[in-house]
Amino acid sequence: MKMDVFKESQVQKEKFRLAANKLLNSCFVIKKKEDTRNDYIFILQNKELFVEYFEMLGYKIEINENQGVATLININGTGRLRLKKIESILLLILRLLYIEKRMELSLTEDVVVLADEIFQKYGMLKIEAKANLDKTTIRDVIRLFKRYNIVSNIDRDVTLSDARIKIFPSILFAVPNESLNSIYDAVNAKLNQYAFGGESKDDEETDQD
């Protein structure tokens, strides 16, 4: 087996263990994120080993070098994260904001939004029995998405209107789409569906493992 390549190097084994666990725990490993950059590079350099290892566990690993994102996907479609309706809506809003900002920036620039921009997008939705986006909710949702390496808060208190939130390109792969334009259209369509009461369930699945 190719895994034997690390048998003489304890350091390499430890790097593999750390990177593999980050994929299992967070689903996404990102080149532009400081605490996962080295893991991303290691995964890219040893892609065949990671593919072989995760295939045995029932996963496949995909690496998008343009976006600098390594993604772990359950082959059997199990292990999906169930999101509450408010979490799904905010995920879609963050994706929409990411695409809008990305169109204005170079590929090397980070996408950063203000908490107020999230509140404004949410306030524009005319959703029947819409949950109140209070401080506890926004704090919990950002914490959840941070765990999956989708966002990172630059400022400690994300409930403040001027709090800065960095959105990572991993948000594009939470639910795969073929291009930025198709994602933009899909997010807008989904938000319109919510706005006109097209989704009434409290929970729905996302493709994060």
Query: 104 CB contacts (<8 Å, ≥6 apart)?
Result: none
pLDDT tens-digit profile, the chain (209 residues): 455 666 658 889 999 999 999 999 999 999 999 999 999 999 999 999 999 999 999 999 999 999 999 999 988 866 677 888 888 889 989 999 999 998 898 877 899 999 999 999 888 876 655 567 889 999 999 999 999 999 999 999 999 999 999 999 999 988 655 544 555 566 667 667 766 655 544 554 455 44
**In this structure, what is the dihedral angle of CA atoms 92, 98, 64, 60, given to the nearest 10 degrees?**
-20
* pLDDT score at 179: 45
- Which ranges of 27-84 does DSSP label H, i.e. alpha helix? 37-45, 47-56
CB contact at 8 A, 171 and 111: no
* pLDDT score at 8: 57
CA atoms of 139 and 133, how far apart (whole Å): 10
The token pair at 36 is 């996962």
Calculate the CA 141 to chain-centre distance: 12
What is the value of pTM for the model shown?
Answer: 0.81
Between the CA of residue 85 and those of 31, 132, 157, 174, 193, what are the distances in Å? Answer: 30, 12, 23, 16, 12
Query: 143 CB contacts (<8 Å, ≥6 apart)?
Result: none
SS3 63: strand
H/E element, 93: helix 85-102
